[in-house]
Structure 1
Amino acid sequence: MSCGGDGGGGCCDGHSHVDASTDQSSRYCLHQMIDTENLQCLNESTPGSCKLVFRPWSERLSSDSFVESDCDEELLFNVPFTGVVRVKGIVLIGGEAESRPTKIRLFRNREFMTFDQAGAEADQEIELCPDPNGLIEYSLKPTKFGSVSHLSIHISSNAGGETSRVHYIGLRGDFIEPFRSKVVLANYEIRPQASDHQAGSDSIESGFNQTAASK
């Protein structure tokens, strides 16, 4: 499934501007591919509030939906997908004034990271500009995020506040394939194999012959 073309005018600092005159929902559609049941965010003040920020682009300006950090400025989103995706770009609307995140660190395919693990080298780090309308897209490295089953987003700093707030995260990219291989493997392991029956028969026959010989 494709979530739209690249579009947008490139900037020297690695971001592009989204055309607000047209509906961009078809481009920022990877929220539909998130395994929402297992989506989590560490250090969120309200449990489960992280699930509210991954929503359609047309609903990005809703001020009622947000996640806020608890004891400091850091947040760590662990975002599992329902299959393999290619993530091309990210849009983030932060809180006002000092609660606005200023830097995110992205990791691919490191399932359910902790803050200790987030101290490792990130696959990409992005300095965020003020963007209250969600019109700045940051491009992700194709070589790093071309095949992603799990995306971790670490908000490591903000504009100086005690806590950070995020209202919206939009992900642009393509859905490549579901996790079919795991299902096939599971079915194969559960289904009885002819070799298993043969081995069982040989064992029974061998045990019978040994018993008969002892008599």
Structure 2
Amino acid sequence: MPPHGSGKCCGDSSHQHEEPEKGIQYSLYTKINMSDLECLNESVEGSGKTVFKPWEERLERTRFVESDVDEELLFNIPFTGNIKLKGIIVIGENTDSYPSKMRLFKNRPFMTFDDTSAAPDQEFELQKDTEGELEYATKVTIFSNVNHLSIHFPGNFGDEHTKINYIGLKGEFSEAHRHGVTICNYELRPNVADHAKTMDNVSREIS
């Protein structure tokens, strides 16, 4: 059964509008805190960050991540605010290095491979996709308030190493609320009326 929201071209005239629309939908990569993003078991340090790129560059093959000692990859992805995750696209090669499963974990920073024994918030059986035609729809009710996303690829179709060229994240973004700062600002403002009442009570007690 194909994933929900398959983006395969149906041959109609509306397809010409797909590119700019997809570019907007899959722009959550701009909301990733790239300096703190990490990919565990990447063969080249920092290569995991390169697969989060503009939709227009999804077919560019020179930037990719490949696993190192085995076929597992684990991405820890912090965002600069809160996101509502609606869909994911994974592009790889039409070889056995393509990941066969994807497991998602919400708001669990600094995950390691030891932590992946826990049940994921959602998981998908993947099909090989070299063009970005298959979209995996997430459960929006679960992924509606995400500040950190971990993506675990536990295996592939039989290769010793897993290779990924592009990961696209579709959804909505909202700035993080800073309630603590607001409360502090209110507490720092003295209430003149309360101050006057206090002074009046003190003067009456003295007299």
| TM-score scaled by length of structure 2 | 0.81
Question: How do 1:117-196 and structure 2 match up within 5 A?
Answer: 117-175=115-173, 177-181=174-178, 184=181, 188=184
Match for 1:128: what amino acid? L
Aligned partner of 1:200 in structure 2 is none
Q: 1:34 aligns with which of 14, 32, 35?
A: 32
Matched, 1:94 2:83: no
Q: CA deviation at 1:124?
A: 0.5
Aligned partner of 1:202 in structure 2 is none
Question: Alpha-carbon deviations, 1:41-62, whole Å to 9, x = none?
Answer: 0000111111110011111000
Q: Which runs of 5+ in 1 are unaligned?
A: 1-11, 195-215
Aligned partner of 2:7 in structure 1 is 18
Question: Alpha-carbon deviations, 1:155-187, whole Å to 9, x = none?
Answer: 011010001000000010001x222326726x8
CA contact (8 A) 1:92 1:170 kept: yes
31-40 or 17-26: bigger deviation: 17-26
CA contact (8 A) 2:58 2:165 kept: yes
Aligned partner of 2:55 in structure 1 is 57
Aligned partner of 2:204 in structure 1 is none
Aligned partner of 1:213 in structure 2 is none
Deviating 4+ runs (over 6 angstroms)? 191-194
Q: CA deviation at 1:18?
A: 1.4
Q: 2:105 aligns with which of 104, 107, 115?
A: 107
- Matched pairs, number: 182
Structure 2 distance, partners of 1:152, 1:105, is 8
CA contact (8 A) 2:93 2:128 kept: no
**Equivalent position SS for 1:45:** coil
Question: In the superposition, relative to structure 1, how do residues 95 and 14 fare at CA in structure 2: closer, same or farther (>3 Å)?
Answer: closer
Question: In angstroms, what is the RMSD of aligned CA positions?
Answer: 2.2
Q: Which runs of 5+ in 2 are unaligned?
A: 10-14, 191-207
Question: How do 1:76-87 and structure 2 match up within 5 A?
Answer: 76-87=74-85
Match for 2:65: what amino acid? V
CA contact (8 A) 2:99 2:156 kept: yes
Match for 2:177: what amino acid? R
**Equivalent position SS for 1:158:** coil
